[in-house]
Structure 1
């Protein structure tokens, strides 16, 4: 393989914050990005060309393919059948494979695929109606009812403990669903994995803190044992081996009270829990995705230092124009970076940006940093970095 710059053009289905950060990572590589998104002036449009169109619009997708040398997606609403059709008719490479998207976009298919491969997962039950849900409750005691498609950030997820709640829960998820047994977990973990041309790499295991089923912070390294981190990495690699095509995958996991690691959900794209890699790793998840999709050599997944990322969510009661105040504090803090997603409107709990706090490990090579698990030379443990990131994030406000 020969790589030259300026490089090819990468077409991306979706132009939200992930598309924006993909474009920011692609530019230094000499790779141009064009995105397809139905929202005019979407977040990625500030740093990439945009085609305005629906994700399932054949004409818009054909235009995207005509302007690109390869295609990828940053949202599971991409149509895998249309992507396959473009690959066949236009001869354009699509990564990750549309088959990977088909597997992952339906949570029931995803769970069945991993279960058939003996990958550890929580017990689950298909739910088409209230009787199915009551049967799951009878089997598991209490469940998380999940919409099979389209759910994210807690949307489409309903906890159910009482059979009398079955009809209301079915109505709340709004369609075909899956009931997953509640897991008695110690913490939620994630691994950002990369499939390249004939190779798999993984970033260090992160620990995710959720509230109301929305990710608030990611802590790297995860505050768990070496054995659990090793098992999480092993499970993540097993997942990657069963998903076709090249690219980055976000793999969410549960660490149970007895140290077992179970797969929660997988995303076939860069993931919120991998945003820490922009400052905290030698090569970010976004640059890795660009490299992988194009078939270029992958970068190092080595962690630079202990790192914490904290999401900036909409702290408003109703939608309003987005204007963030208090940013001088994080901008003044050494080792802290601010990322603004460029959304014009802030809504309750909408992801608007994130902060990253990175410690320092002086006198160590990058390889040594991978094993320096607890603190940097500035004395900051991951707990102190978490406290710092939270305080700075909570000091921000929307006018």
Structure 2
């Protein structure tokens, strides 16, 4: 569809922080956003309209499509069959394609698709029961066990070593009737990602990002990645080859391993904006969120160039139990001058729940020194009610 201003309405399956940031990026383009989410007053509802309903509810998806000129998603729990059926029924385009979502939702199918196309991936096998898992452990000398569907932020993934209780490990990942997949344990130097925007007539890749994980949860992203130019070029080529196996427009995040000998292997792909691309809001000429809006609508893509060395650090719930979200220490971020705090609008802080992120972008900065600086800012933020936190001066709130 041709760009206009005001523009069309975009329907998004999912109303979490990604939907919120999509709506924030869409607004300056004149694009209104309606999200579908089962959570009343979901984070995106502060900046977009909401249809309240399950991600796979045909009636709710139909209501979303009835209010939109195009459909996309910010969560893989969307039902590809429902999206395809409703899109065809109401003549509303769905991007990326439901077929790509179907491929990506099943990690075993995803890996087989990439491997069949010659995309480099870790060795893997299907696992249906404890005997299969034992055989995989024997073959690989230990493995990463992954539920085929539903896992995210480390959920559904667990390392398995020889002699472990294999039935218990299968239960831990929630393999269920869908089975699981076992991958070799990759000896990697660093975890990387390339966010790629597939448009109507062109494909543009963002600079290579380095991702720092702890307990399977992304903690920080550093751009440019602290690796050599050969690895960066190889990672870009692999990411683009990976996208050739998938259909449809939009932003795709290709997560990668850089191995100890300099090879690059594809870990997983997300068919949507991704946590490892949040840095692009301040650090790139065009953010991943604006690119996604442009791409799914078939509009020209923006420049993906890097504005400066950029580090983004996730703000996770540092509480022992769920509690009303009240963030302390934000004045230190504001005092930093060049730091940017992004609040996701979640009412409740939970242990390790993603509540926001902090980004700093500086021209010609040393990546490691900037990472240390951003960590210091992030670590000064807390949801706890400790005496130290209570002694911080808090700004007056209208609520």
| TM-score (normalised: structure 1) | 0.95
Check if 1:320 corresponds to 2:323: yes
Check if 1:241 corresponds to 2:244: yes
1:194 corresponds to = 197
Check if 1:18 corresponds to 2:18: yes
- State the shift of 1:163 in Å: 3.8
Could you tell me how far apart the structure 2 residues matched to 1:178 and 1:12 are? 30
Could you tell me how far apart the structure 2 residues matched to 1:4 and 1:72 are? 19
Could you tell me how far apart the structure 2 residues matched to 1:57 and 1:256 are? 42
Could you tell me how far apart the structure 1 residues matched to 2:46 and 2:240 are? 35
Could you tell me how far apart the structure 2 residues matched to 1:164 and 1:356 are? 40
1:267 corresponds to = 270
- State the shift of 1:298 in Å: 0.3
Check if 1:66 corresponds to 2:66: yes
Q: Retained in 2: the 8 A contact 1:220–1:308?
A: yes
Deviation sequence 1:169-201 (CA, Å, 0-9, x none): 011112211001000000000000010012111
**Residue number among 377, 390, 396 corresponding to 1:392 in the alignment:** 377
Deviation sequence 1:291-318 (CA, Å, 0-9, x none): 0000000000001000000000000001
SS in structure 2 at match of 1:168: helix
1:112 corresponds to = 112
Deviation sequence 1:258-298 (CA, Å, 0-9, x none): 00000001000000000000000000000000000000000
- State the shift of 1:165 in Å: 2.0
Q: Retained in 1: the 8 A contact 2:13–2:72?
A: yes
- State the shift of 1:164 in Å: 3.7
1:372 corresponds to = none
**Residue number among 168, 173, 180 corresponding to 1:177 in the alignment:** 180
Q: Retained in 2: the 8 A contact 1:80–1:98?
A: yes
Q: Retained in 2: the 8 A contact 1:280–1:306?
A: yes
- State the shift of 1:394 in Å: 0.3
1:219 corresponds to = 222
2:394 corresponds to = none
**Residue number among 364, 368, 372 corresponding to 1:383 in the alignment:** 368
Could you tell me how far apart the structure 1 residues matched to 2:109 and 2:335 are? 47
Q: Retained in 2: the 8 A contact 1:18–1:74?
A: yes
Q: Retained in 1: the 8 A contact 2:196–2:204?
A: yes
Check if 1:56 corresponds to 2:60: no
**What runs of 5+ residues in structure 2 fail to find an aligned partner?**
386-399
Deviation sequence 1:129-163 (CA, Å, 0-9, x none): 00110110111111010011110111011100124
**Structural RMSD (CA):** 0.8
Could you tell me how far apart the structure 2 residues matched to 1:11 and 1:114 are? 29
2:128 corresponds to = 128
Deviation sequence 1:74-99 (CA, Å, 0-9, x none): 00000000001012111110000001
1:357 corresponds to = 360
SS in structure 2 at match of 1:94: coil
Runs of 4+ off more than 6 Å: none
Q: Retained in 2: the 8 A contact 1:200–1:240?
A: no
2:27 corresponds to = 27
SS in structure 2 at match of 1:41: coil
**What runs of 5+ residues in structure 1 fail to find an aligned partner?**
361-375
Could you tell me how far apart the structure 2 residues matched to 1:343 and 1:290 are? 23
